[in-house]
């Protein structure tokens, strides 16, 4: 439990709308976003899918870095914009994707294969490939408020992700 996490600075809201849970809060620095990612990592499970959306420079890669370091991945994590998928080996496999250049019409490049390979998938610009995302997943939308503040909106789809949020947030 990380209820006392400094990440929850600013405000914290929790809504229950139908079968969807939404959490909102604000991080006030890069380190707080990293801490949030580390908290999620502590409850990771095989085939976990985390979808990140938000404008360029909002913090999608920073979140991924925080998650990867907590997985004991020592490689440098960069935005894999030109490679689409980068694989890292930590205490589980991490598949870091950046699908900025893809859309609904992109030919099948086998992204779906990664969703059930037993590792964790973190997908930047995931909304671009909404049509192939698994139904059960964590959606994280990051909005820039100012230089160091980010609004983080988290939607959990599916029981395992709802329980994850309850454990972490
Ligand atoms: N609260 C915050 N959370 C995440 N990043 C932040 C925050 N405040 C400032 N930043 C800065 O915003 C930038 C985010 O970059 P990056 O993660 O590469 O964005 P994206 O992958 O979304 O394009 C970094 O330079 C980081 O230092
Ligand atoms: Mg990025």
Question: How many domains in the chain?
Answer: 1
Per the structure block, which two tokens stand in for 100? 């900025």
- Tell me the best of 31, 62, 123, 143 to mutate to test the pocket of ligand 1, counting ligand atoms within 8 Å of each CB and taking the most: 62
Backbone angles phi, psi at 28, to 5 degrees: -105, 5
Supply the pLDDT for residue 81.
Answer: 65
Rounded distance from Cα 18 to ligand 1 centre (Å): 32
Residue 73 included in any domain: yes
pTM flag (> 0.85): yes
Structural domain including 118 reads 29-168
Q: What is the pLDDT along the chain (169 residues), one digit of tens a residue?
A: 454 454 444 445 565 555 568 999 899 999 999 999 999 999 999 999 999 999 999 999 999 999 999 999 999 998 766 789 999 999 999 999 999 999 888 877 899 999 999 999 999 999 999 999 999 999 999 999 999 999 999 999 999 999 999 999 8
Ligand 1 binding residues, C-beta < 6 A: 27, 29-30, 32-33, 54, 56-62, 79, 124, 148, 150
CATH number of the domain bearing residue 96: 3.40.50.300
Residue 11 included in any domain: no
Supply the pLDDT for residue 142.
Answer: 98
- What distances in angstroms separate CA 148 from CA 26, 30, 33, 69, 98, one per listed residue? 10, 7, 10, 21, 23
Supply the pLDDT for residue 80.
Answer: 66
Supply the pLDDT for residue 17.
Answer: 55
Residue 1 included in any domain: no
Residue 38 included in any domain: yes
């Amino acid at each position: 439990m990380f209820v006392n996490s400094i990440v929850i600075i600013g405000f914290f809201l929790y809504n229950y709308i139908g079968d969807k849970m939404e959490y909102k809060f604000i991080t006030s620095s890069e380190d707080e976003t990293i801490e949030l990612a580390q908290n999620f990592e502590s409850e990771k499970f095989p085939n976990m899918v985390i979808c990140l959306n938000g404008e360029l420079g909002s913090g999608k890669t920073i979140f991924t870095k925080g998650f990867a370091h907590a997985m004991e991945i020592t490689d440098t994590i960069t935005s894999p914009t030109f490679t689409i998928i980068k694989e890292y080996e930590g205490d589980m496999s991490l598949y870091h994707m950046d699908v900025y250049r893809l859309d609904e019409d992109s030919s099948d490049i086998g992204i779906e294969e990664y969703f059930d390979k037993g590792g964790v998938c973190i997908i930047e610009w995931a909304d671009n490939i909404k049509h192939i995302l698994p139904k059960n997943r964590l959606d994280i939308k990051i909005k820039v408020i100012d230089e160091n503040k980010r609004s983080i909106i988290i939607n959990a789809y599916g029981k395992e992700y709802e329980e994850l949020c309850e454990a972490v947030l």
